[in-house]
Each structure stands twice: as structure tokens, then as C-alpha cells.
A and B are shown apart, each in its own frame.
Chain A
């Protein structure tokens, strides 16, 4: 069966545009609000990444840390995150959802139990930031057996041979990290440079869906539209933080931003 993630990419290809992926943190700033945000932005987004907040996130920059700490402070638990996904899917049956987080969350619940919860709440894919290849092989296979996409990351430091191996062991999507940075850094390399690496990945397997993330904002997104997909995370979290501190509605603010992002890639 073709995965919803794959379907989303083929639809975008038909429309001759990159897929728009967003990242928001589950439970930011509350369970209810984060669900409302997902529902509000979903019509303009092709794939939704939902962050599992963790309090020692070694690969996340300030924006996502702020969102994650806020969500944890407001009481989000792992099991609530599955409830949020399940609720979201009630109104957005065909919209793919990817959970993104750190391995300790999965390890504490147990891999089997975690995947069972994913299955029950109709999670389409997983990104585990600190479980790289080849250590991830075993868990990636468990995901595959449950028809859950295990999405691997590639970075500018990934060697050619490693890149080939990772792509060989990949499911329906890989995620290229645009630059040496945690999430939310200023885009410090040129679009040309990013696309050069992107093309290298595509050359290894032209059919593989490759998305680019890190440093993508309203300003930078239109320079990278050649990619199969583009992820906006920190910029969105920052917008939500901004709305919260101003006392304005984070749901509408996020929705407006995503609308704008969408208009820049069509």
C-alpha cells in the first residue's frame, strides 16, 4: 500500500511545487491550543511534523527549546501527544503526521509499546533525532513492519558512502539538514550550496523524497523551491511564542504565517 507520505509528495509533484512541512511542538502552549494550531494550519500544509518535547534536546536551538519547555511546564505527557494526533486525524484523515523527538522518550515507553501507540493514533512517520544509522536499523525495521515511516536525516557532514547506506535503508522520505546548526539557526550557507548537496542525494536515488529543513523561514523558503519538500519549524515556533507573549491568538498567527509560506512556494 502506498503511504500517505508518498501520496502527499506525488500530489505536490503533480502541482509542480514542493511539499510544505511544518513543525510545531505538541502541547505548546497547551494540549488544546496545540491541537487547534494543527487544525488551523492543516489546510495549507502537506505533512505535519509534531515535536515531542524533551527537556535535554541536544540538537534544538532556542526557539524549539522555548516551545518544548513551555509545553512540559504546562503538563504535556507522551500519552497526551498520541491523543492529540488521534483527535487531529478525526478531521484530517489523509493528512500525514510525523512525530519528531529524541530516543529516550521511545526507550522509556518501550519500542513496541511506543509503536503500538503510534499505530493506534494513526501516526505516519517518525524522526528520531539522536538515533542515527546504523544504530537505528533495528528500530527502523520494527517501524517498517508496522507501516510507519522511519525518516532518517542527512547532514552536510554526512560522507558519500554513509549517504548511500542511509538512503539504501530509507523509507519514503529523507530529511536533509541544510547546514551545520541546531534548529533555528540563521541560514548561513547559500541556497546554491544547499541545492548542490540536495542534488547529490537525489542522484543516489532520484525516486527518494528529499526534504530540506533548518533555517527555512518566510525569507529563505522561495530560494529552495526545487526541493521535494521544505520544513519550517523554528520560525513557526518563534511566531507562536511571539503571539503568546503579546497576548494575541497564537492559532490565527500561526495560520497566517503558514498561509504566507504556502503562497511563496506555489
Chain B
């Protein structure tokens, strides 16, 4: 069995070929990208230990992103479920309404340090794109966002925000017209423009350096949480469950970062993938349904594919989770058995949204609604001294049309 190293950040647990556990990650990239990726690897390798850079990051996280985001008890939901105490880390209160802001700000800061004026990125739910457009505006960078044509239709509010921030949205019509094609198209654009342009991959996927930058950025979530847990409970609770949705896996990687070294009997990490429509064979849950390892967007990972290695079609009500692969970091956490992965269907996510928004002053987007679905499932069976914390990593405003259509209301 694969083993995690204690005292080493998860993102740094790779070998010289940038593979985690010898199986996941790496840099399966065209020759043209070798140099820009090496340059970025060196630059970030320096910056992450540069006191001034850290100071700058922390300044913008505090004064622009709005750190720390709230950690609240969901009293009514807890009472309703009648088991574990349910809390939420309301990351959706961050500027822009989701965790994608951390990665976007860090990429914009790196882009400036690299002396580049153009920044490009991919987006699924539109949050990564919206945040990158915000950060680009803030730091005076020209921004292009690649987005699947299907996602442009279903996530209109975020598209409007991107345009308002002065970003150009490039619709991607190839393949399934969702996130997977947006990432491919963005990488292609970077192949052609890597001399002038910085690329920000929107999640903990892609060539290794992008996984590192993203997880390093979202780690802010767990740095805040550990302080908040100590304030609330005087320490990390004896029975804690951290539940997070996983698509690419960026918010979960950040939510769990500080807790990896804890014994799993104390801090259990639970990832919830998109199970897709209840009566469909399609899903976006490669870990739950035992997909094989393959190469997608430059990295080896569990990925939905056929036996010829063609990437498979996915389906999820949540654009942000609608991705056939998953971060090599999560593949590694699964195979080391540090985290447990399960899935929630579209319908379960909708029901979770309904219950949470009814009982609490909280309107989680469809992505974290998957995580709430799991919390709702397990909380009643758990003891009262168990603490469940759900990362409510996105706000439902972008999903207004879908939720209204499916549930007949929106809160």
C-alpha cells in the first residue's frame, strides 16, 4: 500500500518525476511547454519561501479576499438530523463567492512577478473564471477565460461577472463543451502563447506545478479552520469529520491540508464526488466508481475513460464537479487510505440544498450541496460528540436558474 510521509506537505510528496506514490501526477506535456513549466516551477519554488511574497499574499487574502471566512454551527440542521454536531466553513463568504479566489490571487501575483501582462485560465462552473477576471482587473492584467459552450449557457451569472470585469470569454465548442474541453483548449492556447502569457489552471489538476500552486493557495482555508476549531473547542476535536465535494479537488485539498498528519480516527477526510443523475449511467465520480489510471491534461490520475484511453463522457448537475478526472493529490489520498471518497447524485444534492437553505441562513451552490448530502446521510448515525464540518465552498447565486427549474424555488 502507498504511504504518506509525515511532516511533509502533501503537494511536496512527489518523486523526481513529480509523481505521487510513483503513480499519480507527473508532467505529460508537449515539448513546447517544458520550458515555460520549468520556469514557472523555479519561480514558484522561490516565491513560496520568499517572505515578501508571503506578506503580499497574506495582505491580499486579508484585505481583498476577506480572510478569515466564517466558521459557524448549523444549529437547526444539527437538531433536525439528531446526531453529530454539524458546522460549516463558509468559504463562499470570500470575495467573489467561492474558494477559487485564493488560486486566482496567487496566480495573478505570480504573473506579475514573471513580468507577464496576459493571464489565461479555464473554468467549469465559472467561479475560477470569475475570480481570475477579478484578480486580473485588480492587478492590471489582460485576461482570457476558456469555458465550454454548455457551461456558458448554464452558468450565466458568472459569465456576466467575467465580462463586467473586462475578461474575454472564449467559448469552447469541441467535445462535450464542458470543463474538460475548456482545460484542453486553454492548454492549447498556452502552447501557442507561452512566451507572453501566464496560464492559471483553475483546479488542482494539470501538470504538477499547477496542482502545487492551487493547493498551496487554497490551503488558506484549513489554516483558518484550525485556528477557528481551537477557538471553538480549545483544540482539534477528538472526533472530527471534514466533508468536501471533489471535482478537480482544489477546495478539498485546501480544506484538508493542515489535517493530513492527524490520525484518521481523529480527523476523517471525506470527499464527495458528483454521482450524476439518479437513473443515468453517467457520472463524474472516477474514485467512487473505480475508474482506471490514465493521463488527462498532463497528469496521471484516476479518470473516466474507455479501454482505448479515450476520455469518457460525464454528467453532473454541478458544472464545477463535471470533470472526468480528479487531482492526483486525491488519487494519492485515496490509495494511502487517508481520505474516503463517495458520491452524491444530482437529486441528493438538490435535496441537500433544499434542507440546508430551509433550515439555515446559508445557500450553498450545487457543488458543496453534494458535500451536505453526505453530511445529512451520516450525521444521524453519529454520536453527539462527533463534529462534522462541511466546506460550503461556493454560493448558489450562479445556480439560480437550475435550482429554480428543478425545485421550483430559490433561496
Q: Which residues of A contact B (CB under 8 A)?
A: 54-61, 65, 69, 72, 77-78, 102-105, 107-109, 129-132, 135, 152-159, 162, 177, 180-182, 185
Contacts and interface: CB of A to CB of B under 8 A. Distances in A.
B35 A130 contact: no
Interface stretch (B79-87, B192-200, B251-259, B340-348): B192-200
Interface in B1-34: 17, 26-34
B70 interface: no
Contacts of B184: 56-58
Nearest to A81: B308
B187 A177 contact: no
Nearest to A154: B31
Contacts of B296: 56, 104
B153 interface: no
B193 to A, nearest CB: 7
B131 to A, nearest CB: 23
Contacts of A153: 30-31
A108 B30 CA distance: 19
Contacts of A69: 174-175
B308 A130 contact: no
Contacts of A182: 188, 191-192
* Chain B at the A interface: SS class: mixed
Nearest to B192: A181
B307 A135 contact: no
A181 B307 CA distance: 30
Interface string B271-312: 000000000000000000000111111101000010111110
Contacts of A60: 188
A39 B6 CA distance: 60
B191 A56 contact: no
Contacts of B35: 157-159, 162
Contacts of B242: none
Interface of B: 17, 26-36, 174-175, 180-181, 184, 187-188, 191-195, 292-298, 300, 305, 307-311
B34 A158 contact: yes
Nearest to A76: B308
Given A58-B297, A177-B32, A65 B174 contact: yes
Nearest to A57: B184
A58 B175 contact: no
Given A131-B28, A177-B31, A180-B195, A108 B187 contact: no
A158 B191 contact: no
B193 A130 contact: no
A59 B31 CA distance: 10
A104 B299 CA distance: 10
B295 A103 contact: yes
Nearest to B19: A135
A130 B34 CA distance: 10
10 contacts: A58-B188, A78-B308, A104-B305, A107-B309, A108-B309, A135-B27, A155-B34, A157-B32, A159-B35, A182-B191
A173 B12 CA distance: 37
A59 B191 CA distance: 7
A159 B39 CA distance: 11
Question: Which 10 pairs across A and B sit closest by C-beta, in order of nearness?
Answer: A108-B309, A157-B35, A104-B309, A104-B295, A155-B32, A59-B30, A130-B28, A153-B31, A58-B187, A181-B192
A198 to B, nearest CB: 15
Nearest to A62: B174
Most chain-A Cβ atoms within 10 A of its Cβ — which of B30, B294, B300? B30
A180 B192 contact: yes
B310 A180 contact: no
A185 B192 contact: yes
Contact of B297 (A56, A72, A107, A180): A56
Contacts of A65: 174
B191 A58 contact: yes
Nearest to B311: A56
Nearest to B34: A132
B323 to A, nearest CB: 11
Nearest to B188: A182
Contacts of B308: 77-78, 105, 108-109
A104 B294 contact: yes
Nearest to A182: B188
B36 to A, nearest CB: 7
Given A132-B29, A157-B31, 7 more contacts: A58-B191, A60-B188, A130-B298, A157-B33, A177-B32, A180-B192, A180-B193
A170 to B, nearest CB: 13
Contact of B307 (A102, A108, A129, A155): A108
Given A108-B308, A135-B26, A153-B31, A59 B188 contact: yes
Contacts of B195: 157, 180
A55 B187 contact: no
B181 to A, nearest CB: 8
Given A130-B298, A180-B192, A180-B194, A135 B311 contact: no
A165 to B, nearest CB: 11
Contacts of A55: 175, 310-311
B74 to A, nearest CB: 39
A103 B191 CA distance: 18
Most chain-A Cβ atoms within 10 A of its Cβ — which of B184, B293, B297? B184
A150 to B, nearest CB: 13
A55 B184 CA distance: 10
Contact of B180 (A56, A77, A155, A180): A56
